[in-house]
Amino acid sequence: MPARLIESLSTTEPLAEVFSDDSVLRAMLDFEVALARAEANLKIIPASASQAIARAADSAAFDIAAIARETLRAGTPGIPLIKALRNRVAQEDSGAADFVHWGATSQDIADTALVLLLKKAAPILDADLAQLQNGLQALVAKHKDTVMLGRTLLQPATPVTLGLKAAGWLGAVGRGRARLNHAFSEALVLQLGGASGTLAALGKHGIKVGETVARQLSLSYPEAPWHTHRDRLANVVCACGILTGSLGKMARDISLLMQAEVGEVAEPGGSGRGGSSTMPQKRNPIGSTIALAAANRVPALTAAYLAQMIQEHERAVGGWQAEWTTISEVIQSTGVAIASMAEAAEGLTVNEKRMRANLKSTRGTIFAEKAALLLSQKLGRERAHQLLEQTTDPERLRDRTLSEVLSQMPEVRDCVSKEALRKLEDAGDYVGMARQFADRLVRSSPNQPPRRK
């Protein structure tokens, strides 16, 4: 299903399908069919009733618009859905209609349907995360020794490598993937509690029915119903918030490196990607733009969900009713950010010549720390610092480099060799543990499929 136009920058087609009306309806019907089959297996309801319910639960036969309208009056989609399902069952077997939704409550339908949607979304997100990790791992491997300006407070700083920068993105993505998969594994649990969370209507069979329904839906069975305990879902939302923030950081870095004044990397272009309606020459950071838009949305949605956790007693008024749209937006926003950055990482082009030019444009001032370490061995730290403050003054440098200015100072020539001054502005000689840190980050972010329950 294609995304709606108004959502076209905030979801992907696979996730739009997961949260489509038909998908939501099918998830609710899947719960009702599984419930009926479990109860028939335990001889709580007739087998014939279970079979009639299963035959009637064809999503194509339901009027989704009518259910949506009635939901606004009922306060839950479960009530109009159950009514419509009973009507369909009654057309075949009036007696069987009485056993629709036996022992359950409307929130059981809504919560389990939401969990089933998350179950569909989880592998979609994970596949795109794996693609993103692949792209970043390739970028790290290719550019482990590609030296570039480090930048602190948006100003030139000591050199780093593109490999280390990309490995930093990779590490955050790997941690975010592990965090999200763990949150999903905890959240994919059945909701079946009946009227007040005790399953009293099912008598001694309550837990057995729940375990059977969970098994049919390939969900875990929790210790107890969780109608007003939303921590598992909150964990998913928070994991999405953190992951989307990490993707936003990556997107911010790439968009800044793409500025014409910097020109060190570029996202993939091509027909219809990153253009302008008025300026044919433009190549905009579209993947980064979409990821940053998501990173702007998700924190507020995360906060909204956390506020929705404060739910009263055994059934909330207004809390869980707010959740469907919040969680849907969070998952889809996270998904579009992942997919966008995966495409950007795979197609990122690197301008090493421009990186070298930008290093050179600092006239060696980024090596002031390196020079201070050399000078302090002979002159002491305070005197070395004073000298470097003088020599890095723009008026004094003018068209000369730092090493050229230092080499003309007798006090410096007396304590630092010509060879050391000549190598002062060798960027590759001052990247410290960049390669080792990049290797450690790569090792900490294995691209492995998660274990699903």
Active-site residue flag, 297: no
- Based on its alpha-carbon atoms, the radius of gyration of the chain, rounded to whole angstroms, reads 30
Rounded to the nearest angstrom, the gap between the alpha carbon of residue 196 and the centroid of all alpha carbons in its chain is 35
The span from the CA of 233 to the CA of 14, in Å, is 21
Give 197-200's long-range contacts (Cβ < 8 A, gap of 24+): 197/224, 197/225, 197/227, 197/314, 199/103, 199/225
* Residue 276 known to be catalytic: yes
Residue-by-residue DSSP string for 367-391: GHHHHHHHHHHHH-HHHHHHHHHHH
From 151, 283, 315, 354, the catalytic residue: 315
Distance (Å) of CA 93 to CA 88, 227, 440, 444: 9, 32, 65, 59
Distances (CA, A) of 399 to 137, 157, 229, 394, 395: 40, 20, 67, 9, 9
From the list 340, 124, 332, 318, the residue with the least C-alpha distance to 237 is 332
Q: Given 276, 361, 417, 444, which residue is catalytic?
A: 276
Concatenate the DSSP letters of all residues of 209-272 into one string: HHHHHHHHTT-B--SS--TT--HHHHHHHHHHHHHHHHHHHHHHHHHHHTSTTT-SEE----TT
Is residue 321 classed as helix, strand or coil in its secondary structure?
helix
Question: Which residue, 166, 161, 335, 341, is CA-closest to 251?
Answer: 341
Q: Is 350 helix (H, G, I), strand (E, B) or coil?
A: strand
Give catalytic residues, as residue numbers.
276, 315
